[in-house]
Structure 1
Amino acid sequence: MQWKKIRHASFCCITVNQNRSMMIRKYPLEWLDALILRNLVQNRNIINITEQELAMICDAIQKEALNIEIQIKDEVFATTKKSEVRLLIRKYHSYFIFLIDKIAENRKNDRYKTKSILQISQTIVDTLSNLLSFIETRFDEYLSLDQRVPLTYLQVSRRELMLRLRNIKKIECDITEDCKTLDLIIDSFNQHFQSRNAPKSTYRLLRYQKNLLHLIEKFNFERKDGNFFSLLDEKLINLNFNSADYYSYIITRIAAHLTAKNQKSGKLAFLLIVFKELNQIESSEKICFDPGQSNIKVSVTNWIKYETQYIEKSIELNIGQKEMTVSKEELQHDLLKEKVECILSTDQIGLILRAGDESRILKAKSMNQVFKSIVPYLSTSQKRDLSYKSMRSKSYTAEERDKEIAIKTLERIIKHIQQY
């Protein structure tokens, strides 16, 4: 291994890897380890280095990171057992985090307030973060992604995410719904970062957040005419961006379209179209933005189903009420058609009905009930619709002539019965 010294007179202890051996080194982090744990803390001469030397050191750090990345690939390629690869990857992953933690701890030292050390330490943190991202992306199957992220690494990662969120906020978007969705994504991230009740930050969740922001940064905002869900919606549903605010936003948009439609049939047709669109979008069940919330596609689908059922029941009830109304009208119409015409007058009919009640031939709760039950089905040659109340009242004040006609009518009935 050949090493080239980067020095300005007194700065002779910081060395840079010049030529990389094709053989796998026993400890590939030796140079970074020495720089972080020893030189930045103990070497007094590093404070007084020139701008040129500072640039060379930062460049050497990035080159060393590239060598480490190649070293990891070589070691994985040379290992045949999956268990050994898992151990190797987790070892690198945990030590990168350890070095980031040491940088954070050392920053409490006054030496880290100087420009040179501050810039070198930040370059190291950025480089180690990239190495972590490389491992988490390339060898995620060997990592335990549900472990809690160490606080220092989490702070570094969130600073990166916050910077990317600020850049996303500057994205120009011509689609009104997508602009609101971008604002909602930013708010959801901020709420997650600030909430004390937010789920614990695991490597899986952190990787999800990074991937989501990367997708938005590279996203081509295009309008998808004729569809309720935009291309951005499709991507977010695909990634299971199950933020409670995003779910509420989608439901609010659907409800607004329903309110604008007057006919229930139109509402139902719209819901069926949205349901069809949603059903054609794939949504991951393995990843999510908020582990405490249900899958975004499942939640929206359930809401649409319940709303559809409600409208269908409402339509059925309306039809039932109309049918009941029609039935009553038809019944009344039939009653009018099936009235029995009597040759007697209203007063004469009333006398016979009163006599039938008082002689207990017709039995009902009251005389009023007798008249109410029979009179609507009768008519006279002079009047088609008879009032049972009026008939009952007149039965008490009938004239002698009406009595005679009623009696003669009953006698005619007797004669007919006798002839049977």
Structure 2
Amino acid sequence: MKKNQYELEWLDDVVSIQLNPDVKGSKDLSSEETNKIKQRIETEEREVLSRLKNRLFRVPDEAASRSLVKKYHDDLVLMITKNYSHLHHPAVMHSGLKELHEFIGARLHYILFLFEKELSSFLNTENLVPITELLIQKTQILERADDMRKNLATGEYGMAPVDIVMEVIEDYISKIDNRVPITLRESSYIRELMHDVLSIDGNLTSITGCDAINELLIIWNLNSKNCIRYFTTGTQMLMDSKETEEEKLAFLKLESKKLDIIPERQNFVLDPDFPSVKEYCYKWLNNEIAYRENRLEGFVPLAREEARKEMKENAFKAVVSMSVDQLSLILRALFDLRIILAKSMSAAFKAITPYLSTPLTENINWDNARTKSYVAEESDKQIVIAKLEELIRLIRSY
């Protein structure tokens, strides 16, 4: 067996190259060619899982096995997305290839079904979800969007909580529309969030005496930047309305106590790689309390001022919806093509990465990112290629 054997190589070649309308155009295949592809896919359907299992037996440890299974699972999902896009390509919709793409889509889904059934112990919520399932979820969201807005608008703070929640949901729909890879964790979060919002009725009660919808934002761990800004800005405005420093300090301490008793749903968070709403607000309140206590004593420690400055600066980083490994590939390619002009690749990475973050990494180490661009995994390359293909189609539509 070859050391770097790729068990999905033939399937990937058929979907990504042989039947890619952007590569081959709308030229029909002969009946013989079509039947040959169908027969080979049926063979792959029977054998690919067996080949992968045999390969797993040779993997030295569990972590490596999980990594390998995740790679193949996510590659299958990306193939389903590619084939779906090809199926709805104008060149295919009006050709004899439509039926073949439908056949391929059905077989890929069945392979994925077998994969998830037989190797479920190796999978987790960070695996990707097929575009076909995401489109069903999108339809369900759009059908109930007005009901969600109506339920969220029951609080005393008007449309602000509505906009925060619906922005998260709309961003999720945008990711589906733009074929951004979405994990099972993300999909499940939105599904449960939608269920909770639709369950809101007139009997919603507050835990702390504050607006119940605001408390739900904390319970849901809806840690988007706008949600964090909503709480910190709102608290700042209420604090500033107090006349004396003593009143401001007492207000902040009361808010901290209220926050402390609001529960967080376990294992439920919009972005697990950032602090929860409760954690962020708690730190913000404690910083403000310490700052004002020190003001009352007549001085402000330099370290406290620096911490407050850093919190503000971090809020203005651009978030790229890719992993650091995937982002590093794009930055390297931009440098190699001389789109980004710098004295060296190191200089390019060092200049750009401080202004970027990813959903998984707030502060990107420029040197690590540069190094990773030379040792990219195949799955990361495929994700970047899929995104760039969508980018090309989008630019052509302008």
Higher relative contact order (CA 8 A, sep 6+): 2
Q: Per the shorter chain, which TM-score range?
A: 0.3 to 0.5
Largest Rg, 1 or 2: 1
Normalised TM-score (structure 2): 0.43
